Structure 1
């Protein structure tokens, strides 16, 4: 009997049906033939997965790019820019107090929020506000959650002329800053004595020739600095090493909040900001003040003024037929700064003097100030009545050095100080003879 193996070529069907070990040979040949197909399938699957991942990343990138754009403002981790309707960049602000963690940011409607920088948590938002068709505004707030960390943003001012801020000893219009100034408290100072400080009139408001404006909120412990080389202004909020203090019971966590607005031109955007933030005068000065000059004893006599010189000054004005809206009796008609009585040596008969000026057709005004020097007759009584601005602890009156000595300042937020000051001043000398203070 012939075995199956020897008869393999002649009877292949019987061998396959017989189930011997020879049926392994065709299976081995089949596996070798399918390996390229399996490999190609695996590669194809990997390519499909990679394509899906790339597509998902692309979609996420598009969504994130849209997330950090709100109207005309583009936000990135280091700051933001604002464009006008024509697409030109008109405002740039850089963050100097931290780098935003963009993964912590979300957008809900017109509000874009971020919850962290790269190293700490915070509260940050930008809210889009459109008060009118021609004005687009952005409310910005950066609030620290850790005490004594300053918040600082840097505004570039090189692309336009800027106006606003504080009065300075050497006033420039538009703003022309020189050198490098670290942020310092944005408070009034005596620029007569210190030319490097901010003057007696200031507002945390600036407007530019490219129709953009910024207003720092009044609640901010605001410090201002600049760098002329970089053409940058530093807006900083801090409580540490500052005259600003948090409200009682609150942690010294700084918050920098402000509003940036963009308009069609500088006139329209300035008008909007004035209506939004500043009150208009509720009274109109006398028409004569616009028509004729005001004459002051300071211009001619400085502090060397007395009754005889004042009457001679008035007589010369009339002698040369000059117009006069009012005649101002300026500095040094009292013995000490803070007294409310005329110096009897310099003005032996003040009532008769004012009567003479009135009969000659002069309206007379008196120079007054809020300082009560420590050597004046009124200093002690004002201390006892609590009429002065107090030092930080609130227990004692604060002393200041101004250009006429050392004294305290009347606290005009105190109704008693305010009303008492004007009542006493109005009695200097007789109210019928004095038109203004």
Structure 2
């Protein structure tokens, strides 16, 4: 039984890892290769469109994704989504071979749609595979694999875009998609029976309003959703500030900047995994204040001590590591408290709010860097981290209770 469960965990984690890898491999390749086609003067436009193409489908189609996770077997949705990924990679390959920026960006948009539609289903399978006692471990390990996928895809694009031919890159894109589909076929889960029908609205605005009202039935759920969305807001801004700050303010090369960004991805992944391990079989919301405070302190240290070089890289790693410990208990709490097929809607609701916050982060970063020195982004993020940690501590009773128990236990 233990060996079987381990195999099922690995199938889900590996399938998710390959999907995230291909998302980021395709997006980063598009940024490198398409910029060479359209010229440096259009660099910002290509990067913006490529990033937006992966985000916008979550805002528009999360309600539909929640409905699919309720009325169909979640494993079946994952398998079909991974099959669709192979077809999308054919479109991407055609775009690269034809030197068509429009076709390549269209394939990224399709990947964003594919990811949005099966996101609630893949995360809903965590509880179906591991049971209630496996939620914290499953959430932590799932996020660790996801961030390793982001790192792998980004680094693969950076190294391979200049060293191999476009046909070889196309074969890799399709090969990863094929491997992901084969991996999805090995997923085994103990799912509840799908609902016969679902009448939730597909209008994103009305969906958010309806889900907010329904979430009031779960004490603290709306605040947990805001906490997760704020984590991604902060993460998005850190990614953007590192690209600018490392090169412009610290004088780092592109490869050195890449190393720092890789450390951030590794740090979040390690923090997520450790949070899952420390939680054991519980949903350990007591880790949230620790993760939030330590993340804020490290971001504040970057600003106050004007960190450079190795010191800066270490602080970035630590901030990312502690933020992973902040995130995973919130993910696990939703899984543990929203029962049955209603979980699909709540995960879709969380996705929609998260990606809305990520779009807001882009605007906030642009506005701040126009008005202030880039360095001030770090103190803004530190204050925001402290604020959301205090809000969760005061507004979510379980955070306070688990924090006190965790302190006594450790």
TM-score using structure 1 length: 0.23
Q: Larger relative CO (CA 8 A, sep 6+): 1 or 2?
A: 2
Relative to its length, the structure with more strand (as a share) is 1
